[in-house]
C-alpha cells in the first residue's frame, strides 16, 4: 500500500501541468505545444492491446485449463514448453 502511494505521489509531482490554450507546462518549467498525434498513437496502442486480448483469450484460457488438469509430470513439461520462448534471448546469447 505504501509503495502504491509513493508511485501515485511521484506521478502527481512529476506530471503537474498548467493547461492554457493547448500549452502544457511540465514540472521542470518546459512549455510544449500539445500534439494530437500522440493521443492518436496512445489510442491505437490501446486498441491493439484490446484486440490482442480478445483474440488470444479464447485459445489461451482453454489451453491453461487443459494444462492444469494434466498429471504433474506432463503439466511440468507443458509449462516448460509454454515458457521456452521467453528464454530465447538468453539462449541466443549463450
Ordered by start, the domain boundaries in the chain are: 1-34, 35-94
The SS3 assignment for 14 reads: helix
- Model pTM above 0.85: no
Radius of gyration of the chain (CA): 22
- The helix/strand/coil state of 27 is coil
Could you report the per-residue pLDDT of 39-82, keeping only the tens digit for each? Answer: 899 999 999 999 999 999 999 999 999 999 999 999 999 999 99
Q: Which residue has the cell 534471448?
A: 89
Indicate the SS3 state at residue 71: coil
**Residues facing 24 on adjacent strands:** 19, 32
CA 31, CA 17: separation in Å to the nearest integer? 10
Q: CA 88, CA 85: separation in Å to the nearest integer?
A: 5
CB 16 within 8 A of CB 5: no
pLDDT tens-digit profile of 14-45?
Answer: 555 544 445 555 556 666 676 788 889 999 99
Amino acid at each position: 500500500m505504501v509503495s502504491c502511494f509513493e508511485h501515485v505521489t511521484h506521478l502527481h509531482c512529476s506530471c503537474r501541468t498548467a493547461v492554457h490554450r493547448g500549452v502544457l507546462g511540465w514540472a521542470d518549467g518546459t512549455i510544449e505545444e500539445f500534439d494530437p498525434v500522440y493521443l492518436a498513437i496512445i489510442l491505437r496502442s490501446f486498441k491493439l492491446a484490446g484486440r490482442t486480448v480478445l483474440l488470444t483469450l479464447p485459445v489461451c484460457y482453454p489451453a491453461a485449463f487443459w494444462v492444469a488438469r494434466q498429471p504433474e509430470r506432463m503439466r511440468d513439461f507443458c509449462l516448460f514448453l509454454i515458457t521456452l520462448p521467453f528464454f530465447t534471448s538468453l539462449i541466443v546469447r549463450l
